[in-house]
């Protein structure tokens, strides 16, 4: 079933996110900005955590998570250990929520309108996988460029 594939990919990439965050030589470099890089790794990490906890945990899993998207980009100098724990917690939320979805759930309309038009849940979950991958690549680039 497609949900098993999604769980594997989300888990793989969230573990890779943890690895990237752990690989920073200096924790303070997670928050470094450069004139050509507008989002630092720390804020991208917070954004991914918030994004998945909201769109998968809250909307599909009814976890009660309340997203504060503006803080995902404005908070600075959050401890690395806290972010790593939140990634672990996000993995659990994603696994628990997706494991409860069946084919009918994937074929149903996603419960809220995100892109100004209705879409099925399978489509949006596929989008979320790509969104995670995109920002994960940005974090990797940020680390290799600015964590010297």
3-state SS, residue 5: helix
Homologous superfamily in CATH for domain 2-146: dinb family like domain (1.20.120.450)
Q: How much is the pLDDT for 89?
A: 98
Which stretches of the chain score pLDDT less than 70? Answer: none
Strand partners, 34: 37
Q: How much is the pLDDT for 128?
A: 98
Task: Give the Cβ contact number of residue 16 at 10 Å.
Answer: 15
**Predicted structure pTM score:** 0.96
Q: Cα-Cα-Cα-Cα dihedral of 101, 65, 6, 49, to 10°?
A: 180
**Residue found under tokens 């504060």:** 68
Distances (CA, A) of 143 to 30, 77, 99, 147: 8, 16, 33, 5
Query: What whole-number distance in Å separates Cα of residue 57 and Cα of residue 81?
Result: 22
Query: What whole-number distance in Å separates Cα of residue 115 and Cα of residue 8?
Result: 26
Distances (CA, A) of 89 to 49, 84, 99, 104: 9, 9, 15, 27
In sign, the C-alpha dihedral spanning 31, 37, 38, 44 is negative
């Amino acid at each position: 079933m497609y949900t098993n594939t999604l769980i594997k990919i989300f888990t793989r990439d969230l573990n890779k996110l943890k690895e990237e965050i752990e690989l920073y030589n200096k924790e303070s470099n997670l928050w470094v900005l450069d004139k050509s890089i507008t989002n630092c790794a720390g804020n991208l990490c917070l954004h991914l955590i918030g994004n998945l906890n909201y769109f998968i945990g809250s909307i599909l899993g009814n976890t009660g998570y309340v997203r504060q998207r503006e803080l995902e980009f404005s908070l600075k100098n959050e401890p690395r250990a806290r972010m790593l724990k939140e990634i672990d917690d996000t993995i659990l939320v994603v696994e628990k929520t997706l494991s409860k979805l069946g084919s009918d759930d994937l074929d149903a309309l996603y419960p809220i309108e995100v892109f100004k038009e209705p879409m099925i849940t399978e489509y949006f979950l596929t989008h979320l996988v790509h969104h995670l991958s995109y920002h994960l690549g940005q974090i990797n680039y940020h680390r290799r460029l600015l964590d010297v």
